[in-house]
Amino acid sequence: MREHRDAAAAAFQFLSRFPVKSDPGFSPELLRRSVLFYPVVGAAIGLCVAAGAALTGWVLPAWPAAVITLILWVGLTGGLHLDGWMDSADGLLSYRPRERILEIMKDSRVGAMGVLACVLLLLLKASLVAALIEGYAYYELPLLLLPAIWSRWYMVRAMVRYPIARGNEGLAASFAGLAPSHERRALAIAALLSLAAAAAPLALGAGLDAWPLHLAAALLLPAAALASGTVAARRISSRLGGLTGDVYGALNELLEAVLLLVLVLLQHNFM
């Protein structure tokens, strides 16, 4: 029991800024065990984001509500994944040789491509959240949990399925040796959380006519995460000879945006 508690605490402390009062330490072994709880961290972040969207959408127009919701979203992660997104953009969009790309990604300074990638990503996310706030009833907003859940599940899959670009160096090396069972168990947890999130609108007052949207979201978002994540991870791995800690964060940001887009497309077709 204590092992699971420490692993959960490590996951929350590593991936979020939730005030978890625990000192489990951050040994590579504990970090590897903590990945099982990545979807749980995603669900907690998504729940706060959904609540923020419902509250701000109640008192403000869609765009200001979406920007405030996005500020909350970024604040809950401490900008961890955005940092990986910017570093990855600086390196991968430089079109340099592999060794030079890895050097650029390791540099703590942010270049022009990183800034551009960050601004465009945040604009895209804000626009998608605004569309969801404007088009969804308040009881549909729990579907916002799904992008946060499945993007973090895919990070676990990427850790298991792809080699580490820097060998024994860097943060990614702490996750070396993850077994396929870690991915399967994280998948089971993500699936249960996803079903709960998809069913939550019904408990909050949605009619039975909303079932098609909920079912489509529960089925299509995991598939979209798997498909888009696989395409991106394969292309990056082929260029770098593996993935890095920055790339894990970049994949999370990319998949959150893709899955928000899928939700907006579902909204357009079902509502």
More confident residue, 143 or 74: 74
Q: What is the pLDDT of residues 168-215, one digit of tens each?
A: 777 777 787 788 999 999 999 999 999 888 887 666 666 666 677 788
For the beta carbon of residue 124, count every other beta carbon within 10 angstroms.
14
∠ at Cα 244 (171, 179), nearest 5°?
80
More confident residue, 9 or 122: 122
- The mean per-residue pLDDT over the stretch 89-106 comes to 89
Q: Where do the H-state alpha helices sit in the chain?
A: 2-15, 28-34, 38-59, 62-77, 80-92, 98-106, 112-135, 145-161, 180-203, 211-240, 245-270
Report CA-CA distances (Å) from 191 to 39, 43, 147, 262: 9, 11, 12, 17
CA distance 92 to 116: 13
Q: Where does the pLDDT of residue 142 fall: very low under 50, low under 70, confident under 90, or very high at 90 and above?
A: confident
| DSSP for 243-254, written as a single string | B-HHHHHHHHHH
- The mean per-residue pLDDT over the stretch 18-46 comes to 87
CA distance 154 to 147: 11
Is the pLDDT score of 26 beyond 80? Answer: no
Report CA-CA distances (Å) from 211 to 21, 83, 195, 215: 39, 37, 12, 6
| Single-letter amino acid, residue 74 | V
Count Cβ atoms within 10 A of the Cβ of residue 148 and give its class: 0-12 exposed, 13-18 middle, 19 or more buried. Answer: buried
- The mean per-residue pLDDT over the stretch 3-9 comes to 84
Is the pLDDT score of 139 beyond 90? Answer: no
pLDDT at 117: 95
Cβ–Cβ under 8 Å, residues 88 and 250? yes
Residues in the chain: 271
DSSP β-bridge partners for residue 243: 164
